[in-house]
């Protein structure tokens, strides 16, 4: 089937047996709600689809549905996701599972409607108030937009925590061939009650009442709840970090990129190899937990790590942390210690901002400059270098 990324995600949600979608229109992801409504899933699977009055309302509707043990999801783009942050924090605080889809656009502020990856920090650092993370999957194809719905919900319920699909305008809008997952029945009310004994579905005779809440005024009790959350996060870090490695084994120049940027860089690596440059690509599929261990492995022979993002340099922080420290987020981060790594590659950044998307050739040219640079020249820690020959009004594509 030939589908847009946004459409594939919507159809996959119906097929996976998601119970409810709440959303508010915003470019570049409005097709998600439109596709859902066009399918009338309330007539087939019984799924609820509701256009909310705001993103704030949408995420709180998600909270209400999640509190009853049901699969709830929402989708938006940067400005709307920012409005949802309070609700996402409450969902984490109340240990509620759900799926949040962010089809990123350039920012800050109203920004642009063109693709961007500038919400990496917001997605991977929590985004709202308090100690929490969301489980973040970054698709780089339409197929992954469809496939990640199931993974996100499985993890959300396993860890009792919101999961996020962090896509961007390119992945949401482009059309590709996709195989949709098979139809799956929604759970019945008694199945939900049996599976999710924590859910507020009405107290049954002789049982304790359930209170879904993020509040506890007793600091000692609250610390225990927070530590319990951190333990769950540690299990996710140990088990669920995912990545894709292309030509990493002998790579001298290792590109690290996610989502649509990784897609573009796949072509760059191909072109580089044709020209005898030993380039490789490491693509984090989960942005949180970040595949730090796998990256250390992949970077063993690299002389140079080039982090390529559609932002001013965000994931590069995690790349540096992975390659310079032991990844242990439950303790205070160590100061960078390069002696932990057998090889000490240079780590630089290449990014385009504000909705401008780089081409494979543009990255290749940048790699060639690195490749021919004298070894004594040390690159600055972060280098966001749009090509000087391109005037801002005429993007290279």
Partner 1 sequence: MLLYKKPSLLTDTNMHYCPGCSHAVVNKIIAEVLEEMNIGTENIIGVSPVGCGVFIYNYIDIDWVEAAHGRAPAVATGVKRMNPDKLVFTYQGDGEVTAIGTGEVIHACNRGENIAIIFINNAVFGMTNGQMAPTTPLGMKTTTCPDGRDPQLNGYPLPMAQLFADIQGTCYVTRQAVNTYKAVKNTKKAIRRAFDYSLQRKGTSVVEIICACPTNWKMTPVEANKYISDFSVKTFPLGDLKRP
Q: Is 222 in the site for partner 1 (CB under 8 A)?
A: no
Of 16-24, 144-152, 325-333, 381-389, the segment contacting partner 1 by CB under 8 A is 16-24
Assess contact for 308 and 265: CB atoms under 8 A.
Answer: yes
Task: Report helix, strand or coil for 306.
Answer: strand
Q: Is 211 in the site for partner 1 (CB under 8 A)?
A: yes
The contact pattern for partner 1, residues 301-320, with x = CB under 8 A and - = no contact, is: --------------------
Q: 86 vs 270, which CB is nearer to partner 1?
A: 86
Dist. CA 171–CA 185, nearest whole Å: 28
Long-range contact list for 222-231, CB < 8 A, 24+ apart?
226/131, 229/92, 229/95, 229/131, 229/132, 229/161, 230/131, 230/330
Of 29-37, 59-67, 137-145, 289-297, the segment contacting partner 1 by CB under 8 A is 59-67
Of 64-72, 267-275, 294-302, 317-325, the segment contacting partner 1 by CB under 8 A is 64-72
CA-to-CA dists, residue 148 to 1, 35, 96, 136, 314, angstroms:
17, 17, 19, 10, 23
Q: Is 19 in the site for partner 1 (CB under 8 A)?
A: yes
86: number of Cβ within 10 Å: 15
Dist. CA 99–CA 80, nearest whole Å: 15
Q: CB of 283: closest distance to partner 1 in angstroms?
A: 35
Q: CB of 198: closest distance to partner 1 in angstroms?
A: 10
Q: Is 85 in the site for partner 1 (CB under 8 A)?
A: no
Q: Is 14 in the site for partner 1 (CB under 8 A)?
A: no
- Count of residues that bind partner 1 according to CB under 8 A: 39
Token output for 2? 């030939």
Q: Is 147 in the site for partner 1 (CB under 8 A)?
A: no
Dist. CA 20–CA 275, nearest whole Å: 50
Q: CB of 78: closest distance to partner 1 in angstroms?
A: 20
Q: Which of 11, 66, 135, 156 binds partner 1 (CB under 8 A)?
A: 66
Assess contact for 269 and 247: CB atoms under 8 A.
Answer: yes
The string of DSSP codes covering 223-291 is HHHHHHHHHHHHHHHHH---EEEES-TT-SEEEE--HHHHHHHHHHHHHHHHTT--EEEEEESEEES--
Q: Is 99 in the site for partner 1 (CB under 8 A)?
A: no
Residue 318 CB partners (closer than 8 Å, separation 6+): 124, 284, 287, 290, 292
Helix (H) or strand (E) holding 23, with range, is strand 20-23
Q: 177 vs 203, which CB is nearer to partner 1?
A: 203
Q: Which of 37, 57, 180, 226 binds partner 1 (CB under 8 A)?
A: 57
Q: CB of 113: closest distance to partner 1 in angstroms?
A: 24
Q: Is 63 in the site for partner 1 (CB under 8 A)?
A: yes
Q: Is 132 in the site for partner 1 (CB under 8 A)?
A: no
Q: Is 32 in the site for partner 1 (CB under 8 A)?
A: no
Q: CB of 72: closest distance to partner 1 in angstroms?
A: 7
Dist. CA 121–CA 104, nearest whole Å: 12
Residues that bind partner 1 (CB under 8 A): 19-20, 22, 48, 50, 52-54, 56-58, 60-68, 70, 72, 86-87, 90, 94, 200-205, 209-215
């Amino acid at each position: 089937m030939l589908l847009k990324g946004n459409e594939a995600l919507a159809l996959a949600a119906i097929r996976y047996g998601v119970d409810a979608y709440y959303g508010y229109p915003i470019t570049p992801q409005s097709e998600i709600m439109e596709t859902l409504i066009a399918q009338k899933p309330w007539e087939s699977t019984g799924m609820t689809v509701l256009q909310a009055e705001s993103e704030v309302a949408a995420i709180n509707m998600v909270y209400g549905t999640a509190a009853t043990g049901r699969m709830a999801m929402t989708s938006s783009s940067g400005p709307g996701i920012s409005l949802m942050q309070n609700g996402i924090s409450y969902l984490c605080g109340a240990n509620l599972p759900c799926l949040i889809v962010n089809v990123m656009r350039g920012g800050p502020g109203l920004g642009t409607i063109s693709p961007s990856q500038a919400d990496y920090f917001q997605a991977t650092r929590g985004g709202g108030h308090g100690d929490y993370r969301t489980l973040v999957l970054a698709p780089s194809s339409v197929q992954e937009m469809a496939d990640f719905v199931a993974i996100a919900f499985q993890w959300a319920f396993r860890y009792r925590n919101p999961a996020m699909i962090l896509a961007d305008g390119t992945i949401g809008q482009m059309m590709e061939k996709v195989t949709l997952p098979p139809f799956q029945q929604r759970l019945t009310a008694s199945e939900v009650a049996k599976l999710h004994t924590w859910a507020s579905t009405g107290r049954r005779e002789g049982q304790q009442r359930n209170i879904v809440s993020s509040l506890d005024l007793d600091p000692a009790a609250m610390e225990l709840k927070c530590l319990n959350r951190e333990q769950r996060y540690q299990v996710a870090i140990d088990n669920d970090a995912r990545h894709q490695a292309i030509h990493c084994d002998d790579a001298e120049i290792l590109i690290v990129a996610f989502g649509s940027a990784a897609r573009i860089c796949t072509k760059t690596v191909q072109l580089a190899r044709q020209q005898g440059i030993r380039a490789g690509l490491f693509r984090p599929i989960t942005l949180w937990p970040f595949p730090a261990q796998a990256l250390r492995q992949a970077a063993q022979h690299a002389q140079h790590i080039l982090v390529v993002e559609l932002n001013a340099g965000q994931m590069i922080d995690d790349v540096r942390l992975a390659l310079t420290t032991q990844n242990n987020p439950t303790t205070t981060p160590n100061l960078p210690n390069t002696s932990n790594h057998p090889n000490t590659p240079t780590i630089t950044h290449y990014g385009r901002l504000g909705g401008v998307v780089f081409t494979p050739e543009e990255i290749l040219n940048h790699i060639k400059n690195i490749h021919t640079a004298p070894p004594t020249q040390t690159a600055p820690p972060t280098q966001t270098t749009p090509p000087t020959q391109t005037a801002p009004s005429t993007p290279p594509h």
